[in-house]
Amino acid sequence: MRGHPWQRLQLQWEGLIAINYAARAAGITRHMRVHEARALCPELQCVHVETIGGDELVDTKDRTKQKACLERYRKACIEILAVLHKAAPQAVIEKASIDEVYMDVTTMVERELRERAQADSCREAETGEGGAHDWEAGGSPVDAFSWGGIVLGGGPLDVGSEFERRLSIGANIACRLRGAVRDQLGFTCSAGIAANKLLAKVASAMNKPNQQTIVPPRAVDEMMRDLPLKKLRNFGGKLGAELAAMGCVTAGQVSALPHGQLTARFGEERAAGIARAVRGYSDEPVQVKELAKSMLAAKSFNATSAPAELDRWLRILADELSHRLTEDGLTHSRAPRTLSLSYRGSNGDRSKCCPAPRPTKEGYTVEALKEAGSILLRKCHDIYPCARLALQASLTTPDLLMWKPQDVASSESLNLNFVALLQASDFYTLPLSDDQGAISRFLTSATGDGGAALPEAPKPKKSGPQQPSIAQMFKRAAAKAPPQGPPPDQAPDAASAQPPAQEASPQSVGDRGASDGVPSNTPDAQAGSVRSPGQREAAQGNAAKSGEGGHTIPLAEGRQGSQDQPGSKSPLLQLPNSAGASLQRQSLQAANDVRSSRPASDAQCNIADRPDAEIAAAGQTELGRGATDTAGVRQPEQSQHPHTRDPGDAGPPGHPDADVAATPCQPPGGVVSSGPAGGAAGAQPECDLTSVDVDEQKRIMREIWLRGQGNAGRPGSGDVGGESASAPAVAGDRSAKRGRVGTAGSGNGAAAKESASKQMRISAMFKAPKKA
């Protein structure tokens, strides 16, 4: 609703689906009909969700002909994530929903703590005065208390408590983040700052429009006592109903239940989980999560038994899905694994699924998907009368990356986690633009051919000499961009000379949209603007050479003369986000998977609600990490009620407090490290694609991708270290950067093996989905 009168609400068909706070104050609620709402507020303006299908020229939203399209909100979500990444480069970010994120800002908090300590000791040395930081005077880089937020249990925060000092820094961060989102995108949000995700989420909802709430551990008991159970995540459904049947409406009431009653009803394990949750304890880690694992296009309609009707809807669903899938493939280098058709038929909701069809050289066409859907549909014998159809694809995880968890900077010393939940309820009331968006355009311009908007696919031609190498493609593209691109004669050959050091490009392609405060709505810019933490780190490490927005990846094809010589430079491509981004994102995911098996404390932010979303954050001490903590910070606070810990002395079975070997955190040499080794490993890019037109970048990425797909079916193609230009190397590990791409040759055997195996997985990714 940015820039629009508060009266505007969002409408879907006849019902209101997003109600801003001003309208709520007027008594308008969700699901109200327009005329009902207007009775309460005559000047009310409603905006319909964007739709696809039907006749686009007739502006009337027709439920019987069109389906809602949420693309705008997915894009906005990506924009928000990009802003958060930029504003909090070290944070672990978990996208919890389209308008919520959790952020673990532990490392940022600890860095701040270290800097303050350092400043203190400097001052002490200079002035001879005491070194204690003057928290209240705000002499720190960031004044701890100017942006705090609402402190539960009564403020201000206690500067005598280390934990509360951490919370205050977390609150500063949350506040800065909210400001960045608001300034750059126009969305307001709320936040909760607490010791774990559970508390942060609850807190973020406590003071709603555009505020943030801090939960010091001392306030938890009171906070939980009267908290309605439904406000607790996972307690809103059946579980909540069962507990209600046992006479419990608040979390406190459940806490007060006799021990045996819970276990009798739910069993030992589940009861323990419930008991912990209602007391505000949680050790669920914040996990790097930004990529959707599945995609769904669905439509409900009046029950019909006409096959042609279903066929028509199926086409519309396939159309939407095909474009989303193609876009996803291009930006994240992955493909759908399964395709499933869900329907509401005579026996209720059912589904059928099959391996996803492989993309043709047109990418994912409407036809391919629709055909697959039709086949599934024929297997549904109880489908008529049908009142709903949904086409869903599960996506492969691009496990391109095999970084060890310890390679990932953000996995270091987690003593305090923060989660930011970004909720933009106003999200759903974004004004419509004149531009209907890419998907609509596809539909209107090419009814029978959803691929019309895609560029002409190059003939895959068996890897003949006439097919330009990937390196050549990029080189040519770069050469075609004279204004910014390096002179053609300076773009070195893939196998020979080293390029001159790249100047840091002022801005990545992906940054352009958000950095100037003008939200960009083009798919290209959007896709490019997301950056994983890992990618950011890599970008920082190589900033001087690579340019901030690009990601350097080694080129797989062709022989590389000096592959195994230490310090030799492998030819590298400078890609704008896309493939490189997913690489590192995955590695972080892997790291987090590991981390989740040990005790981790978390904190969380919660950004919610448009005209004002909100951020919640939580902080807490981590248990189970000892002297190996790389930060060297020993937490004295464990007795101070870190809320990831169980109330009792002895943790219940499976409690994370159990001994867990601490994983020493090593800098990811060559990837994140900026030291000599890392610097050497970071070979110069062959050409800087950030200077190339975005469309051209996409076209190339698409070609690479399709090439890989095309090879998939051919036996023997796409092999590791092959000479063919089939599978592009998309790798970011150290050994690859040393030029060991695709070979299992000399040098460190293990490293070579690792590299080879990685290469294999990369190739596999470009092949057909399993069991195609």
Residues in the site for DNA, rule: CB under 7 A? Answer: 12-13, 15, 17, 31, 67-70, 74, 97, 233-240, 289, 291-300, 302, 320, 338, 340, 348-355, 388, 770-771
Phi-psi region of 363 (alpha: psi -120 to 50; beta: other; left: phi over 0): left
DSSP 90-128: T-EEEEEETTEEEEE-HHHHHHHHHHHHHHHHHHHHHH-
Q: How far is the CB of 327 from DNA (least distance, A)?
A: 12
Q: Tell me the three state secondary structure of residue 646.
A: coil
> Which of 113/277 has CB closer to DNA?
277
Identify any residues that bridge with 194 across adjacent strands, giving them in sequence order: 618
Residue type, 163: F
Identify any residues that bridge with 289 across adjacent strands, giving them in sequence order: 94
Distance CA 327, CA 319 (A): 13
CA atoms within 13 A on the CB side of 670: 23
Distance CA 427, CA 18 (A): 8
Q: How far is the CB of 356 from DNA (least distance, A)?
A: 10
Distance CA 371, CA 369 (A): 5
Closest CA to 725 of 403, 451, 368, 458: 458
> Which of 753/770 has CB closer to DNA?
770
> Which of 113/380 has CB closer to DNA?
380
**26: exposed, middle or buried (Cβ count in 10 Å: 0-12, 13-18, 19+):** middle
Q: How far is the CB of 233 from DNA (least distance, A)?
A: 5
Q: What residues contact residue 537 under an 8 Å CB cut-off, 6+ apart?
A: 89, 409, 410, 584, 668, 671, 672
Q: How far is the CB of 353 from DNA (least distance, A)?
A: 4
From edge to edge, which strands make up the β-sheet containing 687-688?
Answer: 550-554, 572-576, 687-688
Q: How far is the CB of 538 from DNA (least distance, A)?
A: 24
- Residues that are catalytic: 100
Please state, as a whole number, how many other Cβ atoms lie within 10 Å of the Cβ of residue 521.
16
> Which of 4/74 has CB closer to DNA?
74
Residue pair 275/244 in contact (Cβ under 8 Å)? The answer is no
> Which of 269/503 has CB closer to DNA?
269
Q: How far is the CB of 288 from DNA (least distance, A)?
A: 11
Closest CA to 526 of 83, 96, 174: 83
For residue 328 the two structure tokens come to 């996803």
> Which of 302/757 has CB closer to DNA?
302
**80: exposed, middle or buried (Cβ count in 10 Å: 0-12, 13-18, 19+):** buried
Distances (CA, A) of 569 to 490, 647, 686, 687: 16, 55, 10, 14
Distance CA 508, CA 523 (A): 15
Q: How far is the CB of 66 from DNA (least distance, A)?
A: 8
Q: How far is the CB of 268 from DNA (least distance, A)?
A: 13
Q: What residues contact residue 634 under an 8 Å CB cut-off, 6+ apart?
A: 627
Please state, as a whole number, how many other Cβ atoms lie within 10 Å of the Cβ of residue 308.
7
Distance CA 551, CA 538 (A): 8
Q: Tell me the three state secondary structure of residue 287.
A: coil
Q: How far is the CB of 9 from DNA (least distance, A)?
A: 14
> Which of 71/629 has CB closer to DNA?
71
> Which of 432/518 has CB closer to DNA?
432
> Which of 184/589 has CB closer to DNA?
589
> Which of 348/676 has CB closer to DNA?
348
Q: How far is the CB of 585 from DNA (least distance, A)?
A: 13
Distance CA 98, CA 73 (A): 7
> Which of 121/351 has CB closer to DNA?
351
Q: How far is the CB of 428 from DNA (least distance, A)?
A: 8
**Alpha carbon 487 to chain centroid distance?**
36
Identify any residues that bridge with 250 across adjacent strands, giving them in sequence order: 228
Residue pair 103/84 in contact (Cβ under 8 Å)? The answer is yes
For residue 457 the two structure tokens come to 């696919």
Distance CA 689, CA 697 (A): 7
For residue 367 the two structure tokens come to 């036809």
